[in-house]
Amino acid sequence: MPKPTRPLRISVGKTYYSRWRLAWNIIEYKLRPATIFIFMAGNVTLTKNRDVPIDKIRNIGIIAHIDAGKTTTTERILYYTGRTYKIGDIDEGTTQMDWMPQERERGITITSAATTTFWKDIRINIIDTPGHVDFTAEVERSLRVLDGGVTVLDAEEGVQSQSETVWHQADKYNVPRVCFVNKMDKLGADFHRTVGMIKERLGTHPAIMTLPIGKENTFKGVIDLLSMKSLIWGSDELGAKFELKDEIPADMKKEVEEYRHKLIEQICEQDDALLEKYLGGHQPTVDELKKVLRKATIAYKLVPIYCGTSLRNKGVQPLLDAIVDYLPSPLDVASIKGINPKTQKEEERKTNKEDPFSALAFKIQLDPHVGKLTYVRIYSGKVASGSYTYNATKDKQERIGRLLLMHANQREEVTEALAGEIVAIVGLKDTGTGDTLCDEAHPIILEKITFPDPVISLAIEPKTKADQEKMGLALQRLSEEDPTFIVKSNYETGQTIIWGMGELHLDVLVDRMKREFKVDANVGAPQVAYKETVKKVAEGEGKYIRQTGGRGQYGHCFLRVEPKARGEGNEFVDAIKGGAIPNEFIPSVEKGVKEAEDKGILAGYPLTDIKVTLYDGTYHEVDSSDIAFKIAGSMALQSATKQAELILLEPIMKVEVTTPDEFMGTIIGDLSSKRAQILSTEKRGNITLILAMVPLAELSGYATTLRSLSQGRSSYYMEPSHYEEVPKNITEKIVTASAS
């Protein structure tokens, strides 16, 4: 096909799709009713008119346990809304949202992917998040910028450990949610048991909106309790069409009446006027019920529950209606608040394009075609490509090169972005995850995003001299992208140590180095991220004196160390009185203390949860210097901690094993040999769930062990729980190993 002299512009109804500038490598035309899609290399233009009112925007995330069906559900949403021309399949590696080679090979989501689509003239910005705990940072930063969420649950497994974790992450950011009970076609699927678990485990008030017609292999549709209609999927294999029937299956009439009555009562209880009307014998209209349910959902008083099976293409359209009807627009959530860096006072930004510009950078991504992409959620005002913005967190001016709407790894260039939108910016040099971008004349710093500490590390070294420089650049770029990936150098051994959230996390990062940056590296065995702390209060002295003929070195200080509660971190207190140490040398003492804390005292692991107080010292008018007091501070900390009963702490993991009953005894015995504390066992049909707390040090290669113990029929999930003291006999081994 020859390149046209003018941009191709196709109109179908009132929807326009156009493509300018880049190569015309047309892969495929595919005609579907009311829409024509043309996929081309480079940027694509696939979004209908973006200039919709803010109340017609929904920023939502799909969150769930691993393998609950998040990506499959998202792929169906994209197909039914006309965003994609065919349904992506995880097993075939053809999904839109899981676009990375590592995601398609492993069949899991690794990085959160954003896209935009339309349903009933409502613009829906979707972020599909990972389920694996190793990539929890992706969930954390996505929830920080979303207005609503769809929690996907497995109808057979119910509420699992990671379901609870992501639910509580969403609670932290007050994100209203709807639930989708997926996999109703799965053997052992039980809708009502899952709803019961939502109520008990998540501590919420579920409002059942649809009831399943059949279950397992007989599941064929749902009953909408508000409209009292049956939705049956049958003739259309792709699920785009379904039958809407007024009659309810005869064997379900009593159950439907009971649940509808309960639903109406739940909704009416949320509004005094509607409750009065209902108690007076008047039946509320569907519109009245929807209006009150929307308010209750946004206020997190009720959680609408839907059911279906994404893989079999049933039940997704009612979920789309729920996103539109009940999840908030940017106008429905509270206006964003932040601190003015000049006045240190709290300020508010309203969600409209007239207020001063403010946005939060929540994700950095390295794109092979355009370089560094910074994903931002715009809370107020507007921004144009080619303009300048102010990074209030770093106090730097940044230039916005280009603005892009992202559809997973495809890009659509736009000239302007408005309040309520999620866009990617090309051209920002100093902006990192959690930074605030704003109007320089009206500065504001929004609340940052907090991430968990990494729990596992491994040594990495380049295979050849040529890989040396490339490896440094690759590690720097990857750590920019991922706040839970930390790179440190061990100056004593010359090794580079990388830290992450789990073995899978580090494995994926090393694989990305090889594929994206062409760096071949040797990696050591994963090491547990132990920490050191003290158990009692003690004092220590550090005195550094050097005479070399000319001017000498003199630093002298006294420190007190005391333990703090787990997770409180380290603290340095200046309690010097009467000028015993001049003010200019106190930061040097603090620097020496900090360096000693990072290196560790007992076995070379960082010190944590301690309070260090500098309370006395002496100085020499001529010989005292910054370096002398820095060394003295380090010496004093070592002296004090050695008398304060140093102990090692190790990460403890919360482990949930799902196993057939016949292997339960063997697996519990194996866990007990790994110093596990068995918390509970729960029977669900023919399987048992074992919940335990296990030291991470004992779990190396556990996936292989579990498969061999259960003939490959058991699975497990783990997430970091807390740090605990290492038993003395194991501490001695670790200390001896570190000394050698």
Q: How does pLDDT run across 40-71, given as a tens digit for each residue?
A: 233 344 444 556 788 888 999 888 887 788 88
Q: What is the pLDDT of residue 320?
A: 93
* 644 CB-near residues (< 8 Å, 6+ apart): 534, 535, 536, 537, 538, 561, 562, 563
pLDDT at 640: 94
**Which numeric CATH code is attached to 54-242+302-326?**
3.40.50.300
**CATH 3.30.200.20 for the 336-446 domain, yes or no:** no
Residue 234 DSSP symbol: -
Number of H-type helices and E-type strands within the chain:
16, 42
Domain with CATH 3.40.50.300 in the chain: 54-242+302-326
- Report how far residue 599's alpha carbon sits from residue 679's, in angstroms, rounded to the nearest whole number: 35
C-alpha distance across the termini of the chain, in Å? 69
Give ranges for CATH 3.30.70.240 in the chain: 649-739
Distance separating alpha carbons of residues 731 and 155, to the nearest angstrom: 44
- Cβ neighbours of residue 355 under 8 Å, at least 6 residues apart? 349, 380, 381, 419
Question: What is the spatial distance between Cα 536 and Cα 552, in angstroms, rounded to a whole number?
Answer: 36
Amino acid at 55: D
Write down the pLDDT at residue 608.
92
Residue 373 tokens read as 């992409």
Residues of the chain under the 50 pLDDT cut: 1-48, 98
List the structure tokens of 398. 């940044």
Every domain range in the chain assigned CATH 3.30.70.870: 456-529
Dist. CA 104–CA 545, nearest whole Å: 61
| pTM given for the model | 0.72
Cα–Cα distance, 268 to 287 (Å, whole number) = 13
Query: Per the structure block, which two tokens stand in for 306?
Result: 């839907």
Query: Looking at the domain that runs over 649-739, which CATH code has it been given?
Result: 3.30.70.240
Domain 532-644 has CATH 3.40.50.360: no
Q: What are phi and psi of 732, to 5 degrees?
A: -60, -40
Q: What is the pLDDT of residue 115?
A: 82
Q: Is 254 exposed, middle or buried (0-12, 13-18, 19+ CB in 10 A)?
A: exposed
pLDDT of residue 215: 84
Give me the pLDDT at residue 47, please.
47
Query: Could you tell me which CATH class the domain 456-529 is placed in?
Result: alpha beta
How confident is the model at residue 106, as a pLDDT?
54
Q: Where does CATH 3.30.230.10 sit in the chain?
A: 532-644
DSSP 8-class letter at 158: B
Residue 408 pLDDT:
65
